[in-house]
Copies of this chain bind each other. A is one copy, B any other.
Amino acid sequence: MYERTWTVRFSDTDPFGIAHYPRIVDALHETSDMFMEEIGFPFWEISREHGFGLPLVAMDFEFENPMEAGDDVVIELTPDPGTKSVRFEYVGRCDGEVTFSGHEVRVCAHQGGGGAREFPEDLRAALEEYADD
């Protein structure tokens, strides 16, 4: 499991004082980017150096409680890797209470449109280290 804290900023909030949904999605996306960097396969490197990417094919989220500016939201990301795709499970919590949860599905795809491919062994191993048993 990977964990980071996202602080909701004033510029993320709406007239009710709560985070705009697109800004929450920005934070989720940033979390996947931080996670890939953490495990040694940053998005920018796999595309530039290894010739493949992890495009998103699905996202499914529930927003259970609103978040306000100044809230420190602990976002957990747990990868669940398959052969050619990976599911990133997310839970966001504020003071221990779940604010959102859901998942993304990303496929391992050849750059330039050649379709799905198997994960390289080292990337798969890195993903499995953070997976649930």
| Residues on A facing B (Cβ under 8 Å) | 7, 9-11, 13-18, 20-22, 25-26, 29-30, 33-34, 37, 42-45, 47-48, 53, 55-64, 66, 68-70, 111
A-B contact pairs, 6 of them (CB 8 A): A7-B37, A9-B33, A11-B43, A57-B64, A58-B61, A59-B59
**Distance (whole angstroms) from the CB of A90 to the closest CB of chain B:** 13
Does the CB pair B37–A29 fall under 8 Å?
no
- Contact A14-B16, Cβ < 8 Å, known A22-B25, A57-B62: no
Does the CB pair B11–A20 fall under 8 Å?
yes
- Counting chain B CB atoms within 10 Å of each CB, which of A11, A34, A45 scores highest? A11
- Contact A29-B22, Cβ < 8 Å, known A10-B42, A44-B10: yes
**Distance (whole angstroms) from the CB of A30 to the closest CB of chain B:** 6
Minimal Cβ-Cβ distance residue in B for A112: B16
A15-B17, A15-B48 given; 10 more Cβ-contact pairs under 8 Å: A7-B34, A10-B44, A11-B26, A16-B53, A21-B59, A22-B25, A25-B25, A58-B61, A59-B60, A60-B60
Does the CB pair A63–B70 fall under 8 Å?
no
Q: Which residues of B contact A64 (CB under 8 A)?
A: 57
